[in-house]
Structure 1
C-alpha cells in the first residue's frame, strides 16, 4: 500500500501581545498529502517557505533558543518564566517546557525539510535553478535542525527517508558521532546546490555561505580543526560574505542587505512579529525585558571598544524609541541589572510613515561571518600555535574600531575574549564555554560557580555546573513516554 504523508497548511493568526506568551488561533484551511501536494514548482517554493516560517515561532528560535544561553556569565534571564529560571540555574529536569518546545520544533524542521527533499525529484516541470536552490535549502534546514538537536540533547534519533517510506518514526537515538555525520552529509549537499547570493526579491534565503558557515561550526564542535580551517577559509575568501563596514551595521534597520548576515530571522511590521525585538526590549518600551546583560559582560569590554555601546544600553544612554519627539534615556528602573541589549533595540523614529515603536523589519542575525572568522582563527591557534590567528582576529577588531590595538601573538585567552565581545547576546557564550571545557581549555565550573554581581540589584548569580551531566539537556519526558521505551533518557537525568 502506498504511504501518504499528511501535510497541514495552517494559517495564523490572531496574536495577542498583552502577555509574553502569545495566544494563537489556528484556522485549518486544507488537508494535503504527498499524493495531492508538491505537484508544481510553486508547491515546492511554498513548502520551503513553510520551513523558514518556523524561525518566526517564539518557542523555536527567538525565545526558546535564547534561553539555552542564559546559564552563561553574560546574562540574567529576567522575565517571569520558571522554566527559564531552571535552565539558567541548571536545575531543569525532563519536564521543563523549553526543553520540550525545543525538541518538537527542531523535529518539525527535519520533517518539513525531508518532505521537500523526497518530493522535488518527482516534479518534472521545474526550473533547474529553483530545483537546485530548493533542494539546497531543504538539506541546509534539515542539517540545522539536527545541529541544534545535537548541541542541546547530544544523542538523538535520525529519521531517514526509509522511515518515511515505512511510516516508522519511533526509532532509538543515534550516537552524537552519527548525528554529526548526518549533518555533514546534508551540508555538503546544501553547498553543492545553494547559490552564492540572491537578488532583492529573495533576500533572507540561506546561501552557500550559510552552509559553509554551519559546516565550519560543526567541524569545530567535532574537533576537526583542519577541516574547519579549510571550510571557513572558503567563506572568508568570498566577498559575498564580507564583514559589514561597521559593527553597528549588523543591528540597524538597513541590515537586511548586509553581506555579513549568513542567516537571520526577518520579520515584517504589522504582519510577522520579530520576537527577538520584543523579548530584549524593556517592558516600559513595549518589550518583555528578558535576558538582561550582567555587569561582568560590561566590564569585559576594552575602554575604547565601540562594540560596548552598540551591544549594551547602560544607565544614562539615550535612544530614540519613537514614542514622542524627545530622545529617551535608559534609566535604572528599566532593568534589574542596569543593562539591556541595545543590538536588538531597534525602533521606528518618531512620526515615521512606516510605523511606530519596535521595528520588526530589521533582520536578527542567527549566524554572522565574524563568527566564522573567529572560529578559523581559533582553529589556527590550536593547530599552529599562538599568533596563527592574528590576521583574522585583527580583521574583526579593526572593523569594530581602528582605535582598538591589534593583537600580537594571540593565544586562546585573546581569542576567547574576542568571541565574547563580538558575539555577546547572540547565543554563543554557553556553548562556547562547554565546547572549550570538554577539551580542557577552560574550567566552566569555576567560571560559573563564581558569584556574578547583578548591580544595582543585590543578588549574586551562581550556577553549579556538573560534568558531564550539564553538557546536554534531558530528552523531554513526554517524548520518552510516547515512544513506549524506545527512546532512552540521557544519563544523569
Structure 2
C-alpha cells in the first residue's frame, strides 16, 4: 500500500550501491552509499518509500507475478507473451522468461528492506514513532518478498543481515520450512512495530493489519490452522480493517482509503502508470487484454449474486470510458472468451479524454480474504458449520438476497473464495494447497473441460505431482551461482 506522497519520492540509485551515469550534463550534488545516506528522519522515510516503489515494476507485482495464476480454471492467459503459454499449460522449463522476470525484483525488495533494517536503527535524528513505523514497513516488505519466493519456488536462498553486510549474495537454498520461519519472524516484528492505521498523506502504508493478514495466510499455507484462526481473528475484530459497505466499492476510483484494502498498489494519474490494471482491460479500450475470464468462472456465481456483475464484463454490458461518448458496449470482438474483468476496468471519467484510471488502487490483499481463511481453518479444525458466521458476513455484504449458508463445509468455502476473490491471484495457489491437503484433486480439475465455451474446451492443463507444486528457479540464476544454487526437483 502506498500513499500519493510516497509516489513522488525518488531515491538516488547510489543508495543501493549502483553505478552512476552522466545524465543531461547535470552537476553531481553528492555521492550516497548505505554508509552515509541514513542521516535523519527524512532519509529513513525516503529509503522505505524506495522499497514500495518496486511494487510498480511491470515485471514484478505490476504484472509478472499475476502470470503464476494463469494455469487456474478461472481464465485464459490471452495477450501476446509467448512465455505465458508455458506457464498456463504447465509445460514451462527453467529458462521460461516469465519465471525469470520477477525473481530479481523479489530479491531487490529483500535487498532494499534489509538495507533499511540494518541502517535505520543507527539514525538518531528521528522520532521513535517514525523509526518504529519505518522498521515495521521494512520487515513487512522483506517478508512479502520472501512470501512470493516461497509460494512460487519453495526452497530459496535466505540473505541474512550478515550476508548483506559482507555483500555475500551467492548463498545456497534454504528449506521451505526455514523460509517460512524467516517470513514469520519478520511479520511478527512488523506486527509489533506498525501502527493500526494511518491518516492524511501517510494513508496507504502497510499497517499492523497488513502484517496480521499476511501472517494468517502464511499459517494457512504452513497448515498451522489454530495459529491462522488466532491471527486472522485479530483482523476480523478490528474496525480499522472492516469490510467495505459494498463489494464493488473495492474496485472504484474512491477505494484507496477503504479499510478493507490491507495491501494495495496505488498509482497516480499522469504520474505513475498502474500496469496491473492495464493488463486486464481490453486492447481497444487502452489495455492489453490479458487474463480473460472463462465461462466456468461465470457459471460459478449464483444467479442472484451481484459480485458477478461487479467482477465480470459480459457481452452487452455498458461501460463509461470517460471519452465523452457516453456508454460503450462490451462486444464479442473485445475478448476471445466473451468476458473481461470489470473489477479492474476502471476509467477516468473526471478528466477530458478519459482513459484508464491510474488513481485506482489495485487490491493485493483484502480483509475478505482473511475472513474466509479463518472460516476455512474453523471448518477444517472444528467441522462443518464452524465457519458459517464468517462466511455469512461475506455473503450478506455481497447481497441480502443471497441465502445464508448452514452447516457449510469445504465445498461451500471453496465456492465462496472463488467468487469473492476472482481474478485476485488466489485461485491456482488455493487449489494447490487444497490438493496437498487432499481436499481437492487439482489434476482432475485442470484436466477437465469446464464449460461449453470453445476457449475453455481448448484449455487442458496437465498437472503433475509433485513437480507442479512449485516452479523452477530461473536457469540463469543457477548458472550465475556456479553450482551454489541447486535446481528444484524434476527440473
**Map of 1:468 onto structure 2:** 466
For residue 37 of structure 1, report the CA deviation from its aligned partner: 0.9
Matched, 1:307 2:317: no
**Map of 2:91 onto structure 1:** 91
Q: What is the distance in 1 between the residues matched to 2:16 and 2:218? A: 32
- Give the alignment of 1:4-403 within 5 angstroms: 6-8=16-18, 32-349=32-349, 352-353=350-351, 356-403=354-401
Say if 1:292 and 1:340, in contact at 8 Å, map to a contact too: yes
For residue 263 of structure 1, report the CA deviation from its aligned partner: 0.2
Change (3 A) 1:381 1:30: farther
Say if 2:244 and 2:260, in contact at 8 Å, map to a contact too: yes
Q: What is the distance in 1 between the residues matched to 2:19 and 2:194? A: 26
Deviations 1:208-239 (CA, angstroms, capped at 9, x unpaired): 00000000000000000000000000110000
Deviations 1:42-90 (CA, angstroms, capped at 9, x unpaired): 1111110111000001110121111000000001000011111110010
Q: What is the distance in 2 between the residues matched to 1:83 and 1:236? A: 39
For residue 98 of structure 1, report the CA deviation from its aligned partner: 1.4
For residue 204 of structure 1, report the CA deviation from its aligned partner: 1.3
Q: Mean Cα displacement is larger for which, 34-43 or 472-481?
A: 34-43
Change (3 A) 1:69 1:30: farther
For residue 453 of structure 1, report the CA deviation from its aligned partner: 4.3
Q: What is the distance in 1 between the residues matched to 2:352 and 2:140? A: 34
Moved runs in structure 1, 4+ residues, more than 6 A? none
Change (3 A) 1:241 1:300: same
Q: Mean Cα displacement is larger for which, 268-277 or 207-216?
A: 268-277
TM-score by structure 2 length? 0.94
For residue 41 of structure 1, report the CA deviation from its aligned partner: 1.2
Matched, 1:404 2:402: yes
Change (3 A) 1:480 1:358: same
**Map of 1:445 onto structure 2:** 443
Q: What is the distance in 2 between the residues matched to 1:360 and 1:312? A: 20
Q: What is the distance in 2 between the residues matched to 1:355 and 1:113? A: 39
Q: What is the distance in 2 between the residues matched to 1:167 and 1:60? A: 24
Q: What is the distance in 2 between the residues matched to 1:182 and 1:373? A: 24
Q: What is the distance in 2 between the residues matched to 1:8 and 1:472? A: 32
**Map of 2:475 onto structure 1:** 477
For residue 354 of structure 1, report the CA deviation from its aligned partner: 7.1
Say if 2:324 and 2:354, in contact at 8 Å, map to a contact too: no
Q: What is the distance in 2 between the residues matched to 1:170 and 1:376? A: 38
Say if 2:323 and 2:353, in contact at 8 Å, map to a contact too: no
For residue 460 of structure 1, report the CA deviation from its aligned partner: 1.7
Q: What is the distance in 2 between the residues matched to 1:7 and 1:80? A: 35
Q: What is the distance in 2 between the residues matched to 1:353 and 1:413? A: 45
Give 1:423's match in structure 2, choosing from 421, 424, 443: 421
User: Any gaps of 5 or more consecutive residues in structure 1?
Assistant: 14-27
Change (3 A) 1:29 1:307: farther
Deviations 1:378-412 (CA, angstroms, capped at 9, x unpaired): 00000000000000000000000000000000000
Say if 1:337 and 1:454, in contact at 8 Å, map to a contact too: no
Change (3 A) 1:147 1:126: same
Change (3 A) 1:386 1:29: farther
| Secondary structure of residue in 1 paired with 2:385 | coil
| Secondary structure of residue in 2 paired with 1:59 | coil
| Secondary structure of residue in 2 paired with 1:195 | coil
User: Any gaps of 5 or more consecutive residues in structure 2?
Assistant: 1-13
Say if 1:377 and 1:388, in contact at 8 Å, map to a contact too: yes
Say if 1:55 and 1:61, in contact at 8 Å, map to a contact too: yes
Say if 2:449 and 2:456, in contact at 8 Å, map to a contact too: no
Deviations 1:153-174 (CA, angstroms, capped at 9, x unpaired): 0000000011122221111000
**Map of 2:5 onto structure 1:** none
For residue 459 of structure 1, report the CA deviation from its aligned partner: 5.2
Q: What is the distance in 2 between the residues matched to 1:29 and 1:290? A: 43
**Map of 1:21 onto structure 2:** none
For residue 35 of structure 1, report the CA deviation from its aligned partner: 2.1
Q: What is the distance in 2 between the residues matched to 1:177 and 1:109? A: 21
For residue 355 of structure 1, report the CA deviation from its aligned partner: 6.1
Say if 2:250 and 2:258, in contact at 8 Å, map to a contact too: yes
For residue 10 of structure 1, report the CA deviation from its aligned partner: 8.8
Deviations 1:434-469 (CA, angstroms, capped at 9, x unpaired): 000001000000000012447365852100000000
Say if 1:48 and 1:137, in contact at 8 Å, map to a contact too: yes
